[in-house]
Amino acid sequence: MDCRKFAVLLLLSLCFVGCRLSVSLTGGDVDPRAKTVYVQTFRNNASLVNPTLSQEFTNALKDRIQGQTPLTIIDVPNGDYSVEGEITGYTINPVAIQGNETAAMNRLTITVNVRFTNKFDENKDFEQSFSRYADYSSSQNFTAIEGNLVTEINDALTEDIFNKAFVNW
């Protein structure tokens, strides 16, 4: 065995001995006693209403929790964890005004109010408003791109909520 092969083998051995890799398959900090989570359907109380937003947002949140925790989602409000709330805002505003005073870009913003309850540690309970947005060109037909924008925003919102509830960020 030449010196280079021996040095590489030695370095690899030291890496395996000296390093410890810890991976969480759940992606979160879930109490080991917890088995269930109740996710209420988020009512849409925004002044501008997208008729499918309530169900789309609720499903996106459930999917994130199921995909990143070992918890079972239940339909009754007595889970080990509870996530409830409402959609409080769905707004479209101009964000980049051109020289002729027309908007070059618009912004869709979705805001949700969330109440999280942890049966095992009330210090982790919270009520908080979360808001995310996506910008789009004013030359685009909003109804043609609305579904993609909502999906993008829902992904960001559910990540923020998940991190606050289960990752303690």
16 pLDDT more than 50: no
pLDDT tens for each residue of 85-109 = 999 999 999 987 776 667 789 999 9
Number of H helices, E strands in the chain: 3, 6
The CATH class given to the 28-167 domain equals: alpha beta
The residue behind tokens 């559910």 is: 158
Give the global pTM: 0.80
Cα–Cα distance, 158 to 124 (Å, whole number): 17
Look at residue 23 in the predicted model and tell me its pLDDT.
Answer: 34
Cα–Cα distance, 165 to 126 (Å, whole number): 8
Extents of the domains making up the chain: 28-167
27 pLDDT more than 80: no
Look at residue 67 in the predicted model and tell me its pLDDT.
Answer: 96
Q: Positive or negative CA dihedral for 14, 15, 19, 23?
A: negative
10 pLDDT more than 80: no
CA–CA–CA angle 146, 149, 151 (5° rounding):
110
When pLDDT is averaged across residues 16-41 and rounded to a whole number, the result is 68
Look at residue 21 in the predicted model and tell me its pLDDT.
Answer: 33
Look at residue 75 in the predicted model and tell me its pLDDT.
Answer: 94
Q: Cα dihedral angle (28, 61, 161, 108), rounded to 10 degrees?
A: 140
What does pLDDT average to over the chain? Answer: 86
Look at residue 29 in the predicted model and tell me its pLDDT.
Answer: 78
Look at residue 17 in the predicted model and tell me its pLDDT.
Answer: 43
Own/partner pairs, 66-69, CB within 8 angstroms, 24+ separation = 68/26, 68/27, 68/28, 68/162, 68/166, 69/26, 69/27, 69/28, 69/30, 69/37, 69/166
Cα–Cα distance, 114 to 47 (Å, whole number): 18
120 pLDDT more than 80: yes
